[in-house]
């Protein structure tokens, strides 16, 4: 913390973080010394950061709702939504997801399980417990991390026909897509976002006006996965 607050060490900060009083204080003190802060993937809207670079997370949540409902079609039953809410992007995804289901699919029930660490271990524990106590849901929407834990819980509980949508394309989700253990992954162009974040810091020192940059929402299934 003290090292970061010594703004002489840095030309700018690119930040991916939960929003809390400590982080907000660091960002505001850094910007007060006329140094730029760019938030990446998830915003820090209650700070003086100069710009946000990333997807429209409300739209990403709405996209997840559209994908999941297209998979379950006219079946009746609950959808399990896994949340943690330490990041603003997750709160925005939840908002977008619930908005679509509330207005377009009012007969679908949303059940929630809340984890705290965004890990596969915790996702596994919560999903397994939910299925044991309530039976399998029609679908699962994982707003947080830990997609591998979700898939392993479904496998170990020996339940079929659970549609599964989550976020972030990585080695784990790529494997899950290719093995039919996950239906869709909603992703974003990380390289593009990093490039734009660095460019915004450069623009700051050219005295240019900085504005938020919205990146495209990307949808992957087993048939269009890129190679890492």
* Average per-residue pLDDT for the chain: 92
Query: 40 - beta bridge partners?
Result: 53
Which residues 6+ apart lie within 8 Å of 207 measured at CB?
Answer: none
pLDDT at 206 over 70: yes
Q: Could you report the per-residue pLDDT of 142-160, keeping only the tens digit for each?
A: 999 999 999 999 999 999 8
Q: Scan for tokens 């938030």, then name that residue.
A: 39
3-class SS letters over the chain: CHHHHCHHHCCCEEECCCCCHHHHHHHHHHHHCCCCEEEECCCCCCCCCCEEEECCHHHHHHHHHHHHHHHHCCCCCEEEEEECCCCHHHHHHHHHHHHHHHHHCCCCEEEEEECCCCCHHHHHHHHHHHHHHHCCCCEEEECCCCHHHHHHHHHHCCCCCCEEEEECCCHHHHHHHHCCCCCEEEEECHHHHHHHHHHHHHHHCCCCCCCCEECCEEEECCCCCCCC
**What share of the chain in percent tops pLDDT 90?**
80
Q: Could you report the per-residue pLDDT of 106-134, keeping only the tens digit for each?
A: 889 999 888 777 889 999 999 999 999 99
* pTM score, whole prediction: 0.92
**Token pair for 81:** 């939504």
Q: Could you report the per-residue pLDDT of 177-198, keeping only the tens digit for each?
A: 999 999 999 999 999 999 999 9
Give the separation between CA 8 and CA 211, rounded to whole angstroms.
24
* pLDDT score, position 7: 57
Nearest to 52 by CA among 32, 34, 27, 29: 27
Most confident range, picked from 14-18, 103-107, 195-199: 195-199
* pLDDT score, position 5: 56
* pLDDT score, position 98: 95
**What share of the chain in percent tops pLDDT 70?**
96
Q: Scan for tokens 């790529």, then name that residue.
A: 174
* pLDDT score, position 114: 80
| Dihedral pair phi/psi, residue 112, rounded to 5° | -120, 145
């Amino acid at each position: 913390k003290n090292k970061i607050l010594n703004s002489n060490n840095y030309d700018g900060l690119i930040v991916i973080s939960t929003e809390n009083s400590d982080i907000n204080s660091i960002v505001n003190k850094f910007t007060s010394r006329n140094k730029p802060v760019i938030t990446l993937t998830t915003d820090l809207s209650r700070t003086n950061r100069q710009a946000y670079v990333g997807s429209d997370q409300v739209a990403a949540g709405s996209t997840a709702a559209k994908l999941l409902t297209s998979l379950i079609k006219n079946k009746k039953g609950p959808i399990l939504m896994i949340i943690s809410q330490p990041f603003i992007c997750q709160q925005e995804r939840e908002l977008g997801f619930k908005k679509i289901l509330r207005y377009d699919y009012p007969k679908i029930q949303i059940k929630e399980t809340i984890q705290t660490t965004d890990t596969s271990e915790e996702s596994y524990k919560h999903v397994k417990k939910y299925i044991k106590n309530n039976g399998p849901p029609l679908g699962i929407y994982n707003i947080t991390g830990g997609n591998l834990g979700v898939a392993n819980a479904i496998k170990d509980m020996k339940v079929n026909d659970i549609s599964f949508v989550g976020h972030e394309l990585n080695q784990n989700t790529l494997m899950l897509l290719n093995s039919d253990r996950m239906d869709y992954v909603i992703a974003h162009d990380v390289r593009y976002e990093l490039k734009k974040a660095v460019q915004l810091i450069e623009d700051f020192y050219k005295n240019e006006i900085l504005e938020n940059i919205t990146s495209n929402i990307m949808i992957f299934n087993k048939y269009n996965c890129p190679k890492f």
